[in-house]
Amino acid sequence: MVILMGWLTDAHIHLTDDEFKPELPFILTAMDKMKIRACCVSMDYASSKATLELGKKNSLVLPFLGIHPEKANDILESVVDLIMENSSQVSGIGEIGLDKTYVSDKQGFDRQVDVFEKMLALAEKLEKPVSIHSRKTLEEIFSILPSYHLGGVLLHWFAGNKKQLQKAMDVGCYVSYGPAMIYSKDKQVLLSQTESNRLLLETDGPVRFSKCFGYKTAQITFLPSVLFCASNIIGKKYDETLEIVEENTNSYLGV
């Protein structure tokens, strides 16, 4: 897999989500015309299989397979087998992570931790980057990560505080920001304090964003606007910021 400079990469998007299905051909055409590639993440076995198939059909789609914390009760072995059997075509492991809002007791969270650790072990074995969901669980995730020798580690849609951001920088994680950064002062402050060599951009589509986006479903075509905003925040030209982000993407993906 080769990422050429000048191509913008969405570090985290769910292209195989049902909401995108009717317009997927148009999305892929737009990606080609706008020179955008996508780290297409998965939620469970079904979406992992769909993501893998989409990646086989279109080289702009970089397949990330895994189990989202919301889907921790999905059949783990099936996802592991799918990844192992197609490891040469898998770009990364994700979306994986922890999130207590999806469970009601310690047993449920322990299941999330078990699945997360098995996904990390698989990423370590296959030398694949990971895309991590860390909503309100950054401290738990920071305590788990040192047990694994991982290459690219992305804390997608970073929503921690300044201290946690510094911790992420100290341990070598990448962090990504999306369309919310355009109107969120808190996100802008975090971005301004992010080390430039650890910055990635995403849309997390089909998530909906408020304010200037009018709660529209996030499209990958929003990404140039996110890049433009980021360039203003870090005080660099658009093309220079694009080069920085793509160098970071190459490093994150290990290519």
How many structural domains compose the chain? Answer: 1
pTM: 0.96
Amino acid 211: pLDDT: 82
Domain that holds residue 29: 8-253
Amino acid 3: pLDDT: 44
Amino acid 128: pLDDT: 98
Amino acid 5: pLDDT: 55
- 1 lies in a domain? no
In this structure, the chain runs to a length of 255
CATH number, position 63:
3.20.20.140
User: Which amino acid is located at 197 in the chain?
Assistant: N
Amino acid 247: pLDDT: 96
* Mean pLDDT in order along the chain per 10 residues (255 residues): 70 97 97 97 98 98 98 96 98 98 96 98 98 97 98 96 98 97 95 98 94 87 96 96 96 95
- 2 lies in a domain? no
Q: 4: which 2 tokens?
A: 């050429």
